[in-house]
Amino acid sequence: AGWQGRARPAGPGGDRILSAANDGAVRLWDAGTGTEVLTLLSAEGHVSADWSHDGSRIAALAGGELKIFDARSAYPSDDPAHR
């Protein structure tokens, strides 16, 4: 069956690709090498994700909950330790 999901074009700087797969994971990939940089979140069921208009944030929807991540650090935007 292989990988199934959606990939979004490269983010700020053109060096990363955002994907949301039917395995419940939202991941960032290195656009040059095609290797996974990190998994932003892993959830049960359907997930979707996209870059903000200005590329500074990533919005991910999983299990009916919206999470916002800083695109540079990949930390959740509401995490006071990483503001």
The DSSP line for 15-35 is -EEEEEETTSEEEEEETTT--
Tens of pLDDT along the chain (83 residues) come to: 444 556 666 666 778 888 888 888 888 888 889 899 888 888 887 888 888 888 888 899 888 889 999 887 877 876 555 45
Instruction: Determine the pLDDT at residue 35.
Output: 92
CA atoms of 39 and 56, how far apart (whole Å): 18
